[in-house]
Structure 1
Amino acid sequence: MWTCRAGFESHLFEELAWAGASPRMLGEVLVESETRPSEPPVFARTGIRVLTSLPSEQNLDPMAGALAERILDTLPKGMLVLQSFTPDSPEGNRLADEADALLEAVRARLPADRLLEETWRAREAGATLVELCVAPGVVMMGEVPAREALSLSPGGRQRMRRGADSPSRAAMKLEEALVNLPFEPGRGEVCVDLGAAPGGWTQRLVARGARVIAVDPAKLMPELAHHPRVEHVQESAFAYTPEEPVDWLCCDMAWRPLEVAQLLAKWGRRDWATHLVANIKLPMKDKNPLLLRVRHILTEEGGWQGLTMRQLYHDRDEVTVTAHRGQ
């Protein structure tokens, strides 16, 4: 079973169908498939192998204990990270209290040494992520090895905190992308931020200790424009050429997707950057065919390796891509 952003069910369904996974719509933001594709679906927030599916009443609280007992019988062995979620839709979100009650009922019946409390350690600990999905009329329990999980957040909803001084919500997209990478921009590394203004991504990179070359004809927020580790180049991202290769190329431009892909491919082809984090805007209806072209441009023409392409929780009509060169 897969979760996605509301309104993107048909795109996720199409991806799974193209992969021969025999998908079926379950309801708003939920799609199931018979198999798990070898390539993670772009529009999936999370995916779990369903072990138990039980009907539920409108009010789940009185049934939580009985449902928990039935769920215990099918829990996987070993160390577990146990979470609950509801579909990210108006109808699903109204069931949040029921999901919390069921989670607590299951937790109360498990030995403490079966549960890994530090979710961020799940992959290195070899734990299994167990998700309890409370949806209208049904409760599902599923699992996925943490090392294979698309997200370690319940239902794939990786909420990031927006700082009070953040100039835009764009910073949360970068934060979420970096959470899912095994490494991130660090102290002393050089990052180029294409289309930087007003400075959401630049701000977060500087906070990590990086030096940032912010490329944008528009102005940055004042505290960034005068920051000692920020160099503002006021020209088009398409015209800019770095003086020497940099560690990270970051890009969140509201521009035509194929032109942005060609620009990112140029950086890869010329070995101008080692790591890539970028957003590709998708205002069109036929998103999957365009993403195939973007993937081809970045990998075959640009030489970027280890490409990931995901619609993250903080993405809207867009996807986030990450990649690297020469590793």
Structure 2
Amino acid sequence: MEELRRLFKEIKLQQLSSGEVFSFEVPEDREQVLTEIEDHEPIFLRHIQPVDHVITFSEDTDDLEELVDIVRDARKVFEGKRTAVHLRRVENSPFPYSAADTKAVVEAILIDIGSELSLQQPEQILSLYASKDSLLIGWGTPRELLSDWPGGAVRFQREEGQISRAKFKLLEAERTFGINLAEHKRALDIGAAPGGWTSLLLDRGLDVTAIDPAELHPSLVSNRRLTYLKKNASEVKFSPNSFDLIVCDMSWSPMQMGKLVLDLSQALSSGGDAIVTIKLMHRKPLQTIRDVMQKLQEVFIIRKAKQLFHNRDEITLLLEKR
């Protein structure tokens, strides 16, 4: 909300779901707002839903009939496009219909007007949000909405034998940042234990050097593409251009993490990538982020900064070595 206040001077905000969902109004038109957010994407905003129509609940079939009419009238938006339907609701919303029933009705209309239903890689998303008194309806492309997942909540299925949930953070970073980890060859994982990120990098076919004084998971240590240094990262040095990827997900203070990554950056080839998390331990997260990013810019170009769904009190950065 603070980031949007800085982006739009005349903004009105209203909380819809505590700590998670809010609505906002600004004088600018829809296209101006979406363009401004795309050009200056906030770190903490994972999903945006334009509100093109509002249905005040009557709690009878008129609500669904009005929704059907709105979708029919928007034929030109969806006709010939792969479309996904997302429905979310605030807790205790009086909207009487289940997600399955609502989607079944809407999807039937979309098919009737010539749209193709698609959960994977949709071209358009019809978003419905049931608040405490109304149904908010809007649509846009995944790029405009910042995500093709409902509410920006990227969910992965836990695998048997998975070492830690931290793996989901790196999976989401790969998807959100539009990078392919498998295109890299040699990675350095700083503060690797117990090995969630290391395991994903090995799965992608990389040679991985993992540094941590704590133990890696036993399932990893026999992997022939893994070099495990049971040390503090500050104690090791590498030759220049030893790696084309550095990752770091350490529970250290932000400035200490930044210094450590900078100290080891000489081992990263020019143009190489780094994916690091900044733990937000202090009361002024935006100031902390600015301070760490300013320090990292001595060596790196900051490609993107995002608070991912699988982040907790932290954000994730995608960096490129100058």
Name the TM-score, length of structure 2 as normaliser: 0.83
* Structure 1: 5+ residue stretches without partners: 1-12
Q: What's the counterpart of residue 30 of structure 1?
A: 21
State which structure, 1 or 2, has the greater radius of gyration over its C-alpha atoms.
2
The change in CA–CA distance for 1:151 and 1:241 in structure 2 (over 3 A counts) is: farther
C-alpha offsets along residues 65-98 of structure 1, whole Å, 9 cap, x if unaligned? 43232343246625242221325x6547x97963
Cα deviation for residue 55 of structure 1 reads 1.8
Give the aligned partner of residue 98 of structure 2. Answer: 98
**What is the match of residue 10 of structure 1?**
none
Partner of 1:258: 255
Q: What is the distance in 1 between the residues matched to 2:75 and 2:262? A: 45
Residue 277 of structure 1, aligned match among 264, 275, 278:
275
Alignment coverage as a number of residue pairs:
304
* CA separation of 1:74 and 1:206: change in aligned 2, threshold 3 A: same
Q: CA deviation at 1:201?
A: 0.8
Cα offset for 1:158?
A: 0.5
Q: Equivalents in 2 of 1:230, 1:96: separation in Å? A: 54
For residues 20-44 of structure 1, what are the alpha-carbon distances to aligned partners after superposition, in whole Å with 9 as ceiling and x for unaligned? 2524123222232523433111111
Q: 135-144 vs 194-203, which deviates more?
A: 135-144
Amino acid paired to 1:103: K
Pick from 85, 90, 101 the counterpart of residue 83 of structure 1: 85
Question: 1:270 deviation in Å?
Answer: 6.8
Instruction: In structure 1, give the amino acid aligned to 2:249.
Output: D
- Aligned: 1:243 with 2:244: no
Q: What amino acid is the match of 1:86?
A: R
Find the aligned partners of 2:175 and 2:181 in 1 and give their Cα distance: 11
How far the C-alpha of 1:261 sits from its partner, in A, is: 2.4
Aligned 8 A contact 1:16 1:23 in 2: no
Deviates more, 1:151-160 or 1:34-43: 34-43
Q: CA RMSD in A?
A: 2.7
Q: In structure 2, what is the equivalent of residue 161 of structure 1? A: 157
Is 1:200 matched with 2:200? no
Distance 1:109 1:265, change over 3 A: same
CA contact (8 A) 1:206 1:229 kept: yes
Structure 1 vs Structure 2: percent identity of aligned residues? 24
Partner of 2:3: 15
Distance 1:240 1:304 in 2: 24
Q: Deviations over 1:268-288 (max 9, x none)?
A: 577457112122111222212
- For residue 7 of structure 1, what is the aligned residue in structure 2? none
Distance 2:12 2:189 in 1: 38
TM-score w.r.t. the length of structure 1 is 0.82
